[in-house]
Amino acid sequence: MHLTGTHIAYLHTCHRKLWLFANGIQMEHNSEIVAEGKLIAETTYLDRARKYTELAIDGIKIDFYDAKNKVVHEVKKSDKVEHAHKAQVIYYLYVLHKNGISDASAILEYPKLKLRDTIVWNPDFINQVNSWVEKALYIINSKECPPLVPKSICKKCSYYELCYIDE
């Protein structure tokens, strides 16, 4: 199984969400928040589609990749789970590195907040990502869905109603 950036982000956000997503229960298509995030990504940097390419490699899909400068551009709506966003782009850099694209970097952009964060390839990412992959695959391949762990971000999650149906 090829893991995606979404798998890695969910590993860092919620193990239950990771398991549900990876096991075919996908709720993002029903989420207004996800739709708003996509709209921000599509309308904020209008010249990106012309300047940069979409890159699909080893199960990941990078929407905006500057091949000339080896820079991944990732646009997000909010920085509430910034640690998960960083993990996602580190995973992208890892996959690029595995495929011979060395010394790439990533720019995480939060246009509504006017924030940017640059992540530069670091060889230490290799062990870090290998650990994440192992943990993600363990969760995904578990026979049972992980238990609900209530967090402050739950109310904005596309899986909220599914997780809190009995509440």
What's the whole-number mean pLDDT along residues 142-161?
Answer: 93
Chain centroid, CA 48 distance in Å = 19
Q: Any idea what the CATH number is for the domain that residue 26 is in?
A: 3.90.320.10
Q: Output the CA torsion 78→79→84→85 (10° steps).
A: 70
- Which tokens sit at 144? 């049972």
Distances (CA, A) of 18 to 11, 108, 130: 6, 22, 17
Q: Which range of residues forms the domain containing residue 141?
A: 5-163
Alpha carbon 140 to chain centroid distance? 16
- The pLDDT score that the predictor gives to residue 85 is 96
CA angle 1, 26, 3 (to 5 degrees): 20
Number of domains in the chain: 1
**In this predicted model, what pLDDT tens digit does every residue of 46-85 receive, in sequence order?**
566 667 888 999 999 998 999 999 999 998 888 899 999 9
Q: pLDDT tens, 105-124?
A: 999 999 889 999 999 999 99
Q: Is 104 helix (H, G, I), strand (E, B) or coil?
A: coil
What value does the mean pLDDT take over residues 27-41? 55
* Max CA distance (Å), the chain: 51
State the pLDDT at residue 36. Answer: 54
* Burial class for 18, CB neighbours closer than 10 Å (0-12, 13-18, 19+): buried
Give the pLDDT confidence score for residue 52 in this predicted structure. Answer: 82
Name the percent of the chain in helix, strand, coil, to the closest 5.
Answer: 45, 15, 40
